[in-house]
Structure 1
Amino acid sequence: MSDSSPDRRDGSAEVVSVTRHPHAVLDLPSRRFKGLKIERLLNLAARSQPIRLLEVGTGSGGIAHYFGTHQHLKCEVDAVDVHDNRLVTEGYRYQSVRDTHLPFADATFDVVLSNHVIEHVGDEKAQRAHLAELHRVLRSDGVGYLAVPNRWMLVEPHYKLVFLSWLPQAWRTPYLRWMGKGTVYDCEPLQMRQLEHLFSAADFDCRNLCVDALRATFEIERPTSAAAAVLRRIPDGLMLPLRRIIPTLIYRFERR
C-alpha cells in the first residue's frame, strides 16, 4: 500500500501531499515462493479451516491467489491495495482502499498479512494506524505476518542504492536525486527495536522470524545449494545476533 500520509481524526492515514509509488513486485513465481514461506512460518496447516485471510497490499495478486487456490488449505481470501497492479485475480476478493483504513468489521480474520507494506504507508503516525487496523480486524486467536526492509540493509531494495536508508531522512531524497534514481524517497524502512516498539504500542505480542525465514527461503528456493547446506549446520544461537542486519525484518504477531 502507498499514497498515504496521516491527517484523519480517527487515526487512519489519508492522502495529503506525498505521492507514494506502489513498488509492487510483479514476478509471479516469486510470489508463490513467498506464499509457501508465509504458510510454513505461520504453520497454517495446523489451524482449523476454513481460514479467513486478509492480505494488505495486494501487489501482483500472487500471494492472495496462492492462498485462495491452495490445494490443501481451505482459505477465504480478501485483499486490498491503494493501487491495482494485479496480474492474477482468481481465488480471492479484492477491494481498493484510499489509506490505512480497512473496510472490514472488527475481528473478521484468522490471518492477516502485511508483506512489505508498512514502509509505504507514510510516517510513524501512519504506520501506527496501519498496525491499529490490523489489530482491529484480527480475531483474538488470530495470527499475523509482517515483513519490512531493515533500515540497516546495505542496498535499499526499492531504489537499489547503497546506504540510502542509513542516511538521515532529510538527506535521502537529495541522495536519490543526485544518483538519478528518482525525485523523492517515499519509503520508511524500520529498525528492529523501532518495529518492536510499534508492535507493543499496537497491543501485539510479536516474535522475530528473521532466522527462520532465512532458512525457509533457502529450503524452498535453493534446497540443494551450498548455502542451504551451510545454514542447516549453523545453530540458531550463532544466527540470532545477525537479526539486526538481516535485510528484511520478518515477524509473527498476535493480539495480547
Structure 2
Amino acid sequence: MLDEASRRAKAAKVAAVVQHFRGVEDLAGLRVVDVGCSGGIVADALRERGAEVLGLDIDVPGLARAARRFGATTSFVCADSQRMPLRDAVADVVVCNHVYEHVVDPAALFAEMRRVVRPDGQVYLGLGNRLGVVEPHYRLPFLSWLPRRLAHRYVRASGRAEHYHEAFATRAGLRRLAAGLHVWDYTYPVLADPAAFAGGDAVPGAVARLPRPALRALRPVVPTYLWVATTAPQRPRGPRLAWDPEPVSTTRA
C-alpha cells in the first residue's frame, strides 16, 4: 500500500478507465471519494489529474502518513466504508480498488457506494476474484479457493500469517453484490490495450495476447475484474477500443 511507484501506476489505470467512461481527458472538477485510501498515494495521484479527493480508511497509521504528505491538498477521514460519514449523492466518482474482501459486510459497502455517488456519477471497482489462481495478498496458489478452516492452516503453514481473513467472491457473487447497479466491464479492454490504460500491471503480456475465445473461456478465473458501475443507465463515452467495454448482467441473491 505504500509502494510509491506501484500505487501511482494503479492510480493512472483508475484515472484512464474513468476518463474513458466519461469521455474526458482528465478528472478536472470531479469530486472523488477514494475508499480504502491508506497512505494517500492514489488519492494524491488522482488530485494531480484535477480531482477534488476525499480519502476514507480505518487505517490510522496510514491516514497519519497521508495527512503528513498530502493533507495540504487532499482531505482524509478515518471512517468505516460500510457507514460513510457523507451526504447522499455527493461524489462524482467513488474509487473502490481491492477493498471489498477486507470488510465484514461487503453488501453494506456496496450499498454505501450506491448511496454516495451522484446519479450521473460512476463507481470504479477493482474486484479480486475468489477463483484467481494465485491469492494476491499472500501469493499462495489456490488459497482463496479453500474453505476457511483449511485456508487458515495453509497460510499458517506458509509462515506468512496466523489466520486468513480476506473473503473473496466469485464473479457470480460479485454480480449479486452489484445488484441494482448498471455495470460495464473494462477488464478485457485493459488486457487488450494495457498501454492505453496504464494497465501493464494487470496480467503478464503473454496472457493479454491470447485469442479472444481463450480469454473469454478464462473469464471465471481472471484474477481481478475492472468494472465501472452507475446507479442510472449510462454508456461509455470514450473512443472505440481494441476491445470495447461490455455490460455485465447483475443478479439479485
**Which category describes the TM-score, using the shorter chain as reference length?**
0.7 to 0.9
- 1-structure distance, mates of 2:32, 2:212: 30
Where 1:154 maps in the other structure, the secondary structure is coil
Structure 1 residue 139 displacement after superposition: 0.3
1:40 is aligned to 2:16: yes
Identify unmatched segments of 5+ residues in structure 2: 233-253
Give the SS at the match of 1:158: coil
User: Given that residues 119 and 189 in structure 1 are in contact (C-alpha distance below 8 angstroms), is that contact kept between their aligned partners in structure 2?
Assistant: yes
Which residue of structure 2 aligns with residue 59 of structure 1?
A: 38
- How far did 1:162 drift? 1.6
Q: 2 CA distance for matches of 1:255 and 1:188?
A: 25
> Counterparts of 1:55-204 in structure 2 under 5 Å?
55-70=34-49, 74-84=50-60, 85=62, 86=65, 88-90=69-71, 91-98=73-80, 100-122=82-104, 126-200=105-179, 203-204=180-181
CA RMSD of aligned residues (A): 2.5
Structure 1 residues not aligned, in runs of 5+: 1-24
- How many Å apart are 1:29 and its aligned residue? 1.1
- Superposition TM-score, scaled by structure 2 size: 0.78
1:249 Cα shift?
Answer: 1.9
Tell me by how many angstroms 1:217 deviates: 4.0
Q: Is the 8 A contact 2:32 2:94 kept in 1?
A: yes
Asked if the contact 2:35/2:81 (under 8 Å) is kept, the reply is no
Of 202, 211, 219, 1:243 maps to: 219
Work out whether 1:213 is the aligned partner of 2:190: yes
Cα displacement string for residues 228-249 of structure 1 (whole angstroms, at most 9, x for unaligned residues) = 8x84x66655533322222112
* Displacement of 1:59: 2.0
Give TM-score scaled by structure 1 length. 0.77
Count of aligned pairs: 220
**Aligned-partner SS, 2:178:** helix
Identity %: 30
Q: How far does the alpha carbon of each residue in 1:170-223 deviate from its partner, in whole angstroms, 9 at most, with x for none?
A: 3211222222221111101121111011101xx211122221233454553659
- Per mean C-alpha deviation after superposition, the further-off stretch among 60-69 and 48-57 is 48-57
Q: Which amino acid aligns with 2:187?
A: C
Structure 2 Cα separation of the partners of residues 218 and 237 of structure 1: 22
Question: One-letter code of the match for 1:251?
Answer: W
- Distance (whole Å) between structure 2 residues aligned to residue 222 and residue 204 of structure 1: 28
